[in-house]
């Protein structure tokens, strides 16, 4: 009987350890992401070849647009699971969730008070000073965004 109790206690202790480990990882990721971020860099596949095909005027306009987007962008995440994105020319807000393993972030955009578009991105790096994620664009290519804490 004591062997059964000891075995049950051991199994319960191990299970409890894993539950706390998962919860603490989730809380750590929420702590790390909960702040205002600024877009530092965006890498899109085929971007260089697209730019190479532009004439000088188009290239200058594209570069100015990208510079403005990088300068004006902000991504704010809260510990309560809400986000706001302001790209300078477009704003979005909604809710987000980080997966239990800390490898993905799912956002649900709010439109007219209801959840609408859901998107999932892979978390490449999440630390106090950098958040790197990848996401598939409509053509299926990976877009990489590098965010750093905003200084305002």
**76-128 residue pLDDT tens:** 999 999 999 998 778 899 999 999 999 999 999 988 777 778 999 999 999 99
Angstrom distance (rounded) from CA 142 to CA 101? 21
Question: Per-residue pLDDT averaged across 4-14, rounded?
Answer: 42
- Partners of 39 in the β-ladder: 147
Element (H, E) at 59: helix 56-72
Q: Which domains does the chain have, with CATH numbers?
A: 2-149 (2.40.128.280)
| SS3 of the chain: helix, strand, coil, percent, to 5 | 35, 40, 25
Residue 10 confidence (pLDDT) above 70: no
Q: How high does pLDDT run on average in the chain?
A: 81
């Amino acid at each position: 009987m004591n062997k059964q109790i000891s075995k049950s206690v051991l199994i319960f202790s191990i299970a409890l350890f894993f539950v706390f480990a998962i919860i603490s990882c989730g809380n750590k990721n929420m702590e790390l992401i909960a702040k205002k971020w600024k877009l530092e860099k965006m890498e899109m596949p085929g971007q260089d070849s697209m730019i190479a095909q532009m004439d000088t005027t188009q290239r200058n306009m594209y570069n100015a647009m990208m510079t403005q987007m990088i300068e004006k962008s902000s991504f704010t995440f809260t510990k309560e699971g809400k986000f706001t994105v302001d790209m300078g020319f477009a704003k979005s807000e909604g809710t987000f969730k980080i997966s239990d393993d800390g490898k993905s972030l799912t956002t649900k955009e709010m439109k007219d008070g209801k959840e609408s578009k859901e998107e999932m991105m892979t978390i490449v790096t999440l630390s106090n000073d950098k958040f790197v994620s990848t996401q598939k664009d409509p053509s299926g290519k990976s877009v990489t965004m590098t965010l750093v804490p905003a200084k305002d």
